[in-house]
Structure 1
Amino acid sequence: MGFSVSGSAAILFIAAFVSVGMLYSAAYNGYERVQDADDSHGERVLEQRNTVVNVSNTSYNETGNELLTVNVTNEGSTTLAVNETDLLVDGVYQPRDSYEDWSVDGANDTDVWLPGETLSITVNVTAPTRVKIVTSPGVTATEVV
């Protein structure tokens, strides 16, 4: 056996070793990504299960300024963000900059909506029939006006 056969065998062995190393690295990174995604999904599901909102009441003033006030109570154990909570009136999204007023238990200088607190949103709409609140974890509450 000459040097060329031994040299080529060594080259093939080194190439196979490098290839297995790269394959292992790629497979392990893929496995880690799947595990991270699974963990994130589990956290989102837990957050959804711990989130409960209830439209405690709605009031509509037909005369004059046509203001609709929606009061929503956070009855779960998850702290919610006001800026990540959406209001739909008759299926139409109400942008936050269109709110006439909003407050969490009377304070409108906070973005934190803690368990047990009530979020009150006032918007100017014409003849609403139904409202829907959508929270950041995807939990909703619907009420007839």
Structure 2
Amino acid sequence: MGFSVSGATALLFVAFLIAFGTFYSATMGAVEQVQEAQVETQEGNVETLNTAINITTAEYNSTQGELTIIANNTGAEPLQPLELSLLVSGNYTGFGQANVSITDSPADELWAPQEQLTLTIGDNDLPATPADGDTAKLVTVNEVAATEQIRVVN
């Protein structure tokens, strides 16, 4: 009788250690995932706080059939020009054959803070011909946006 009680106790103790080890591993894995997600969220929040853009010109030349957007990166975060989104009167406008240029940089480089970006988009890439008072909205990858009314010139 003494051996069976000791054996059962030892068996329960081993089972408890295995169960605790499994529980501990799963819990620590979940805690690490939550901590990594919190760090990523904080980094994203810092990027958003450091991002600011300003559209200085939104002009549609009806003779040439081109919309020109001139914007400044007024924040501290460098941006990728090809990750920007443009909405013209609420309609998404793909850059397609757009001419993208940055002061002192090729188009495929970063749009650094305090630099100016010029987008020239032809009629073929616009959802509709802009009119006076329509809006152009430039949105960054981290959802910071700038809006300006379009001015039509000949």
TM-score (norm 2): 0.86
Q: Of 103, 106, 111, which residue of structure 2 is paired with 1:105?
A: 103
Q: Structure 1, residues 24-47: CA drift from partner, whole Å, max 9, x if none?
A: 111111111111111111111111
Higher strand share: 1
SS at match of 1:43: helix
**One-letter amino acid of the structure 2 residue matched with residue 116 of structure 1:** Q
1:43 and 1:107 map into 2 onto residues whose CA distance is 27
Are the aligned partners of 2:55 and 2:147 in contact in 1 as well (CA < 8 Å)?
Answer: yes
Other-structure match for 2:141: 136
Other-structure match for 1:118: 116
SS at match of 1:141: strand
SS at match of 1:9: helix
**One-letter amino acid of the structure 2 residue matched with residue 131 of structure 1:** A
1:94 and 1:12 map into 2 onto residues whose CA distance is 67
Shift of 1:66: 1.6
Report % sequence identity. 36
Can you give the 5+ residue segments of structure 2 that lack an aligned partner in the other structure?
none
> CA 1:68–1:90 in structure 2 vs 1: closer, same or farther (change >3 Å)?
same
Are the aligned partners of 2:100 and 2:107 in contact in 1 as well (CA < 8 Å)?
Answer: no
SS at match of 1:80: coil
2:87 and 2:35 map into 1 onto residues whose CA distance is 36
Counting only pairs closer than 5 Å after superposition, residues 1-145 of structure 1 correspond to structure 2 as 1-63=1-63, 65-99=64-98, 101-105=99-103, 107-124=105-122, 125=126, 126-128=129-131, 129-145=134-150
CA RMSD of superposed structures (Å): 1.5
Instruction: Report how many aligned residue pairs link the two structures.
Output: 143
